[in-house]
Amino acid sequence: MANDASELKGKTGIKRLVNAFLYSRDGFKAAFSTEEAFRQETLLAAALAAVLPWLAVSVELKLLGLLALVFVLVTELLNSGLEAIVDRIGPEIHPLSKVAKDVGSCAVLFALTAAAVVWGVILWKIVA
């Protein structure tokens, strides 16, 4: 990435916030351009979030639906970061590398399952 996290050291106030935002933007762009799963989940989350205001459910349930979508994206980003670290260590297959990647994948599965349950409840409330 063009920005170096070490540039944040010694920065304070608005400059630090701006730099942190730019690093986050770079991370989003990197994940979106290189991770197919993140692209798919981001597009699905955007579509579902866009329809939330028009759903006939409580504000609390809408918020829970939005949080479930964000939880999936955050988990996918962390999993992608974990995979990048493992890949950075080396291309050889190692049992601990497999465990790290599998555990990250499992975390994404749990986040997706939780989101599916929340959105299932939302749909059930709409049709019930």
Going by the DSSP 8-state scheme, the letter that residue 6 receives in this structure is G
Q: Note if 76 is an active site residue.
A: yes
* DSSP track, 83-107: HHHHHHH-SS--HHHHHHHHHHHHH
- Could you give the CA distance from residue 46 to residue 87 in angstroms, rounded to a whole number? 29
Q: Which of 60, 76, 83, 92 is catalytic?
A: 76
Residues labelled as active-site residues: 76
